[in-house]
Amino acid sequence: MKLELLLGIAGLLLLLCVFANKISDKFGIPSLLLFLGMGMLAGSDGVGGIQFYDAKLSNYIGTVALAFILFSGGLDTQWRSVRPIILRGTVLSTLGVFLTALFLYLLAYYLIKLPFEISLLLSVIVSSTDAPAVFSVLRSKGLRLQNERLKSVLEFESGSNDPMAVLLSMGAISMLSEPAFSLVGMLEGFLWQMSLGIVMGLLCGRFAAFILERWSFVYQGLYPVFGVGVVFLIFSATQLLRGNGFLAIYLAGIIIGNTPFMYRRQFIRFQDSLAWIMQISMFLILGLLVNPHELWAVLPISFAASLALMFIARPLAVFLCLMKSGFSCKEQIFISWAGLKGSVPIILATYPLMVRFPNSQFLFNLIFFLVIISVLAQGNTLPMLARFLKINATRKRRKKA
């Protein structure tokens, strides 16, 4: 395919996704789902007929996109709102992910009767709450919650729990494919990844913030370039040292976003626009990777797994992690329902495809459909649930003079 044609198709798809946001606002359809739909329409079973089966390239694009999305989410996070919930948020993003995976595995294996390998991989891959999905729904739906701690814990959990899901997923794949797998080695790797991710995020974020604070660049346009360079450098350096680059990027974004410097507002706006481009590109690519005609075969199993995750596994994990936390029962129900799935599970599902794991295509389709169900069911009903539980903030009417 010629470069000119590729650029034309890419431009057309990006513009269609921009206009799709108008449909999202008008009819309440989550934009993430529309982006996936665009990719599926352009794919092998759609009107575009694009033959795309490169799981490795999809994984690379998704990883880069997720790094920029998390960085933008960190920039928008207010430290004063995160500080009171950092302990509970950390428990949710580590122990909560593990418990969700454990409960879902038990349900998938013993109740839904999936094979051991599929049950294990499914449970760990969908165990985390997806940051792009949560950030998108909270902002696009205009949710205003009475308790600021509630919004903060949702954003912090979704932004910091991907490392645990990645570790569990890689550990499960290693356990199933490597005879010399060691559980102790996996635990040591987890501690190293989390510790180094935190250290690199704090140190590199503070250093980048120091440069922005003390130095002024010649041209305003160089500030966004600096931001892109920071994302690439922090992520790659942390990953090369076997730390978790996603956690480092998110923490660095929080530090930079809470530091005053010249053109700060324009810097954050550019990163927000870049995050949208990355989000659209990521979902388009992941949509291209799917063959829609194969999804119907996994619909009953995916629906059953979705119900087990949304109504049993996730709520149990949340209630156990938030015991004596100060959050009311209603707020814990809301946090449970806000455990949206999105791009991260689909990206993680490309790893079994890359290593040609048995039944990897079935697992990918199963997870893809589960994500669609999660976005449709949970994303669309979050505002209604907030009103039903009476935890949304209502604007006071002005008294007539």
pTM of the complete model: 0.83
Span 305-320, pLDDT tens digits: 999 999 999 999 999 9
Half-sphere exposure of 244 (CA within 13 A, CB side): 26
CA 132 to chain centre: 5
- Residue 283 is predicted with a pLDDT of 81
Question: Which helix H or strand E contains 257, and what residues bound it?
Answer: helix 245-257
- For residue 157, is pLDDT > 50? yes
Span 205-225, pLDDT tens digits: 999 999 999 888 888 889 999
Residues 245 and 236: their CA atoms lie apart, in Å, by 7
The answer to whether residue 20 sits within a structural domain is: no
SS (H, E, C) 32-93: HHHHHHHHHHHCCCCCCCCCCCCHHHHHHHHHHHHHHHHHHHHHCCCHHHHHHHHHHHHHHH
The answer to whether residue 47 sits within a structural domain is: no
The answer to whether residue 395 sits within a structural domain is: no
- Residue 43 is predicted with a pLDDT of 77
Q: Using N-to-C axis directions, what is the helix angle for 183-214 and 245-257, rounded to 10°?
A: 30
Residue 296 gets the label, from left (phi > 0), alpha (psi -120 to 50) or beta, of alpha
Of 350, 338, 233, 230, the residue nearest 282 (C-alpha) = 350
Of 5, 39, 2, the residue nearest 281 (C-alpha) = 39
What is the arithmetic mean of pLDDT over 150-171? 83
Indicate the DSSP class of residue 142.
T
What is the total count of domains within the chain? 1
**Better-scored residue on pLDDT, 167 or 304:** 304
Residue 370's domain is classified under what CATH number? 1.20.1530.20
The answer to whether residue 25 sits within a structural domain is: no
Residue 237 CB partners (closer than 8 Å, separation 6+): 200, 204
Amino acid at 14: L
Burial of 184-204, coded b for 16+ CB within 10 Å and e otherwise, reads: eebeebbeebbebbbebbeeb
- Residue 376 is predicted with a pLDDT of 84
Question: Which helix H or strand E contains 389, and what residues bound it?
Answer: helix 380-389
User: Which domain range does residue 364 map to?
Assistant: 54-389
* Token output for 90: 């950390």
The answer to whether residue 230 sits within a structural domain is: yes
- For residue 143, is pLDDT > 80? no
Span 96-140, pLDDT tens digits: 999 999 999 999 999 999 999 999 999 999 998 877 677 666 666
Task: Grade residue 397 by pLDDT with cuts at 50, 70 and 90.
Answer: very low
- Residue 398 is predicted with a pLDDT of 43
CA angle 303, 364, 249 (to 5 degrees): 105
- Residue 99 is predicted with a pLDDT of 95
- Residue 193 is predicted with a pLDDT of 86
Residues 374 and 337: their CA atoms lie apart, in Å, by 10
Residues 247 and 197: their CA atoms lie apart, in Å, by 6
The answer to whether residue 161 sits within a structural domain is: yes
* Token output for 157: 């959990």
The answer to whether residue 88 sits within a structural domain is: yes
Residues 127 and 106: their CA atoms lie apart, in Å, by 13
The answer to whether residue 14 sits within a structural domain is: no
